[in-house]
Structure 1
Amino acid sequence: MAALLSCPYSAASPASSSSTKFFSRHRPPFPISHNHLATRRSSPLPIQCQIHNQQKGKSFSIKECAISIALAVGLMTGVPALDWCSNAYAAANPVVPDLAVLISGPPIKDPGALLRYALPIDNKAIREVQKPLEDITESLKVAGVKALDSAERNLRQASRALTQGKSLVVSGLAESKKEHGVELLGKLEAGMKELQQIVEDRNRDEVAAKQKELLQYVGGVEEDMVDGFPYQVPEEYQSMPLLKGRATVDMKVKVKDNPSLSDCVFRIVLDGYNAPVTAGNFVDLVERHFYDGMEIQRADGFVVQTGDPEGPAEGFIDPSTEKTRAIPLEITVEGEKLPFYGETLEELGLYKAQTKLPFNAFGTMAMARDEFEDNSASSQVFWLLKESELTPSNSNILDGRYSVFGYVTQNEDFLADLKVGDVIESIQVVSGLENLANPSYKIAG
């Protein structure tokens, strides 16, 4: 603990310091202050959270400037300018990413978009429909009627792309899913006409909801392009629980002693296409009700973490073996057909590789593990809360070091309201359980 406490940006707090194992073993690699990280509160109130008062302030400090300057110096000179922060950072000593990677383009931060682009498909026609529909979000940030004019241009571009590329989209559908995919395309076309009317009526308040609906259709069409599971998991992991596709779970949390929030349901999409072992392990534990009744064990403004069972074990003890179930580090990168196992991208020398499931979104879900043991994950999971100077989207110190396997897609902003001691009442699979292969849980009755 001494190294952590000596750092002026330590994430340790009175509320979380009692769970020392999270700092010494199962934790993201660097202690980062939560004081300078802004809380998001710009989205509409989710319907599944009981809210009393959601107004919160934002702060800015000299620390932000200092840490930004230090990172910039490191980028420009190659010197690890943040070594002074803590011995933990010096021990890990990651390679600082190339400056060109940081400025290569605007990052994708929306969890829905990240999940769409992570699908194992190669169909340019549907992507040309998807992109302008997603760009409507940026258009709506413009003040006044100009926002609607810009959104209308995005919509025209998407409509034109769908008209010109529809045959290519249909030909890209998996044969077993073609009927469903064509049905979704029909709903997409009809929805675009409805959105056009909304824009013409200058009803700005209805644009975002309709846009979300259209993108759900696009995502459904893209999922219908995936024909089965696209690769063989390495033999050494084939007998483990594997999620061969995607699954959706709802996590209900009871919030204690919070005047703003009483309880909340977080919807999480788990991606087994890019992390079948990691996601499969989690779904298997969910079906065992492993997390039901468990408390939030770390909440420091950087991550929310849970999954450490009572007793000396720091992971799930499989009753069939009476040993801790350990799962490997599992990371898929752009351009590769299957994940890398057992090594960080840094250890593989892939310093500029882009992960298929990056730590871009608020609510990115990943496995905690021993910092220096790549294959030591078991049951402890964390959700990244904020993007800081050390974790810029598309190029940060977490990508390639921890297994991401999903994103919170509803109510993610309210993760920041959780505290140590809040209770996970339940996690339930609401769809995709049929994609779980080799389940080890026992269903009574």
Structure 2
Amino acid sequence: MIVSSSVMLPAGPAEAVLNSPNAAIARSVDAALRRAIPAFNPEVKKIQRSLEEVQYLLRIPQRKPWASMAESVAEALDVSQRREVMLAGLSAAAVPTAEPLLDSLSTSLRKLELAVKTQQPDGVALRVSDALRAVAELELLQAPGLPFLIPKEYASLPRLVGRAVVELTLEKKDGSLGFLDPAAGGPAKRATLRLTLDGYSAPLSAGAFVRNVQAGLYNGRPINANYTSVLVTAPEGRQQPPVPLEIMPLGEFEPLYRLPLDVQSGELPVLPLSISGALTFARLPATESYLSGTDWFVYKFDKQQAGLGGLAFDEGQFGVFGYVTEGLETVLPRLGPGDVIVEAKVVSGGDKLVQP
């Protein structure tokens, strides 16, 4: 399904089989956001790769390669014990925050080592996720800003030089108790979605979105929800200029602008559309080079509707700038046409918005 800034239109027929299912593309929100963090400390990134290898090997359905997993865990443990190396690149102010993360990582790796040794798949899955979460938090502390320059032609546009989190407070269109209270478990009038925006891969798109939220463009706006997406538009007369299509390809060090990726030839994005909860601006009529700078949508990726490679047919055609990171399974499915965003606010990372 192709989402336009004004209407939702069905996609045209697929022209070819998409990429291999074994492609090194992120398949979860956590993985996509983790891989988008610039590698300022190669040793920490080495641990990340070892742990992701364990995750990959764990998915093998029958005879799992426990010896290979044990080797990867041992490599990660070895690197993690060199604390001075792990803390390299951190400012003095960040070290007190990083120290407990290293302790947590070490504990998770020891538990992971035991789970692999005793061949417990569920335990391995849990412990490797805990370890990767600590790695990602440490990498964010070590990433001071963008590792590339914004092209001169876009120098006047706002940009997000890091991560930000936006919180959406939502109500049903009739004011009914249509949501679940996550604490009490009963019905609730309001619900919250949290969106994590990634300026490392999409600084201009994420920057435009944060600017719009801070300007209150989405407060009180009704949503247009269907089985594939949730579309949000700004009030008439408050449209912002278009943003260039902005995609960070896998293996590259800066985003590609105004050009879609050729997924069929193996070009893949760091932030895939093929993950439920992906955030992107809506398509504009008659151009593939720019997207709306105001109207945006949440993509509800359905693996049953994907190509043979497990990717959306529109992969590489939209510039993803973040994901729904809270409320994806509990709130998003309950949203219907006409439900309202009571308030959209930036809860962290607002200081990383640069407006020239």
- Structure-to-structure mapping, 1:335-354, within 5 angstroms: 335-346=251-262, 351-354=265-268
Q: For each residue in 1:133-182, what CA deviation from the matched residue of structure 2 results, as whole angstroms up to 9, or x when unmatched?
A: 6469859x99xxx9xxx899898556412222234992684242773445
Q: For each residue in 1:310-341, what CA deviation from the matched residue of structure 2 results, as whole angstroms up to 9, or x when unmatched?
A: x3x4xx44xxxxxx422111111012221121
Structure 1 residue runs of 5 or longer lacking an equivalent are 1-10, 12-21, 33-88, 318-323, 440-445
- The CA deviation at 1:371 is 4.3
- Structure-to-structure mapping, 1:11-160, within 5 angstroms: 25-26=5-6, 31=10, 89=12, 96-97=16-17, 101-105=19-23, 108-121=26-39, 124-131=45-52, 134=55, 159-160=73-74
* Paired position in structure 1 for 2:185: none
- The CA deviation at 1:418 is 0.6
Residue 399, structure 1, aligned to residue 319, structure 2: no
Secondary structure of 2:322's partner?
Answer: strand
Residue 232, structure 1, aligned to residue 149, structure 2: yes
* Paired position in structure 2 for 1:49: none
- The CA deviation at 1:424 is 1.1
Does the 8 Å contact 2:261/2:268 carry over to 1?
Answer: no
Shift of the 134–207 alpha-carbon distance from structure 1 to 2, 3 Å rule, reads closer
Secondary structure of 1:377's partner?
Answer: strand
In structure 1, give the amino acid aligned to 2:312. Answer: N
* Paired position in structure 2 for 1:305: 231
- Measured in 1, the distance between the counterparts of 2:7 and 2:157 equals 24
Does the 8 Å contact 1:173/1:181 carry over to 2?
Answer: no
Q: For each residue in 1:358-407, what CA deviation from the matched residue of structure 2 results, as whole angstroms up to 9, or x when unmatched?
A: 11321111110214223241211111113245534664322221110001
Q: Count matched residues.
A: 337
For the aligned residues, what is the CA RMSD? 3.8
Q: For each residue in 1:289-324, what CA deviation from the matched residue of structure 2 results, as whole angstroms up to 9, or x when unmatched?
A: 21121111x211011111232x3x4xx44xxxxxx4
Does the 8 Å contact 1:27/1:369 carry over to 2?
Answer: no
In structure 1, give the amino acid aligned to 2:348. Answer: S
- Structure-to-structure mapping, 1:342-381, within 5 angstroms: 342-346=258-262, 351-373=265-287, 374-381=289-296
Name which of structure 1's ranges 391-400 and 404-413 shifts more when overlaid on structure 2.
391-400
Secondary structure of 1:224's partner?
Answer: helix
Q: 1:416 aligns with which of 333, 341, 352?
A: 333
- Measured in 1, the distance between the counterparts of 2:335 and 2:67 equals 40
- Measured in 2, the distance between the counterparts of 1:332 and 1:409 equals 20
Q: For each residue in 1:247-301, what CA deviation from the matched residue of structure 2 results, as whole angstroms up to 9, or x when unmatched?
A: 11222212345756443222211110111000001011111121121111x2110
Residue 165, structure 1, aligned to residue 79, structure 2: yes
Q: What TM-score comes out, normalization by structure 1 length?
A: 0.64
In structure 2, give the amino acid aligned to 1:270. Answer: L
* Paired position in structure 2 for 1:247: 164
Q: 2:137 aligns with which of 211, 216, 220?
A: 220
Q: What TM-score comes out, normalization by structure 2 length?
A: 0.78
Secondary structure of 1:368's partner?
Answer: strand
* Paired position in structure 2 for 1:384: 299
In structure 2, give the amino acid aligned to 1:378. Answer: G
Does the 8 Å contact 2:231/2:297 carry over to 1?
Answer: yes
Secondary structure of 1:366's partner?
Answer: strand
- The CA deviation at 1:409 is 1.5
Structure of higher CA gyration radius: 1
Does the 8 Å contact 1:173/1:226 carry over to 2?
Answer: no
- Measured in 1, the distance between the counterparts of 2:35 and 2:84 equals 16
Q: Report sequence identity in percent.
A: 26
Structure 2 residue runs of 5 or longer lacking an equivalent are 181-187
More strand by share: 2
In structure 2, give the amino acid aligned to 1:336. Answer: E
- The CA deviation at 1:197 is 7.9
* Paired position in structure 1 for 2:201: 274
